[in-house]
Amino acid sequence: MAATKARIALLPILFGLGCVALLGVGLTFGIGLAANGTSPAQQTATPIKIGPSGLPIPRFVSLKADRVNVRRGPSKNYAIGWVYARQGLPVEIVAESENWRQVRDSDGDEGWVFHSLLSGRRTALVAPWLKQTTLPMHEAPKSTANVAAQVEPGVLGRIERCDGSWCLMAVGDIEGWMTQEALWGAYPGEVIE
């Protein structure tokens, strides 16, 4: 990993052309492999424990700021490994140390972030492990429902709620349901209200 890692290039521009295409027809898709060679269904969280904050570990959160330094250890005495440059990007908290949180991103990279730079607001990346396809966002939580939009891999959206199989997502001003296994930012089977 390079000494400085800006995450700007990770995501397509949310409102840019090509991120979401409105369509009225369905599309069948297959889930690909993550960067580490596993599908999202195989990426189950480790057993949940309670951290010093009183909250469960692991858990998903999002970045609160457009610029977040990620350090090699849990204090300002550690070097900055890279900088995230995208507010709302989902990260997974995998450890805690007083006011610092060890986070993992969708690439599997881990580093330490000061707790006040993280938000409990839930977001997700659409299938960042895929490269060349679009995924359907349905009008209802079933694969036979009308397609509200086609969404490119890597697009960032806000999670409104999840029922354990489907998540209601907001991407820009478009809302629709996506299969939970197609999202990085919610655990398989997790219910979010």
Q: For 134-165, what is each residue's pLDDT tens digit?
A: 999 999 999 999 999 999 999 999 999 999 99
Predicted confidence at residue 157, as pLDDT, reads 98
For residues 3 and 70, the answer to whether their CB atoms sit within 8 Å is no
Domain 55-122 has CATH 2.30.30.40: yes
Cα 22–120–101 angle (5° rounding)? Answer: 120
Please check the confidence at residue 19 and state whether its pLDDT lies above 50. Answer: no
Specify the range with the lowest mean pLDDT, choosing from 3-7, 72-76, 140-144.
3-7
Predicted confidence at residue 43, as pLDDT, reads 52
More confident residue, 45 or 140: 140
What are the residue boundaries of the structural domains of the chain, listed by start? 21-26+124-192, 55-122
Q: Which CATH class, in words, describes the domain spanning 21-26+124-192?
A: mainly beta
Predicted confidence at residue 46, as pLDDT, reads 54
3-class state of residue 116 by DSSP: helix
Q: Is 166 left (phi over 0), alpha (psi -120 to 50) or beta?
A: beta
For residues 135 and 127, the answer to whether their CB atoms sit within 8 Å is yes
Q: What is the mean pLDDT of residues 56-60?
A: 97
For residues 83 and 67, the answer to whether their CB atoms sit within 8 Å is yes
* pTM (predicted TM-score): 0.77
Query: What percent of the chain stands above pLDDT 90?
Result: 74
Phi first, then psi, for residue 181 (nearest 5°) are -70, -10
For residues 24 and 48, the answer to whether their CB atoms sit within 8 Å is no
pLDDT level of residue 47 (50, 70, 90 thresholds): low
Integer Cα distance of 79 and 3 in angstroms: 9
Show the tokens assigned to 111: 């580093």
Residue pointed to by tokens 């027809």: 25
Integer Cα distance of 136 and 143 in angstroms: 9
Computed over every residue of the chain, the mean pLDDT equals 82
Q: What is the mean pLDDT of residues 115-120?
A: 98
Q: Is there a cis peptide before residue 47, judged by omega within 30 degrees of 0?
A: no
Check for a shared fold between 21-26+124-192 and 55-122.
yes
Please check the confidence at residue 32 and state whether its pLDDT lies above 50. Answer: no
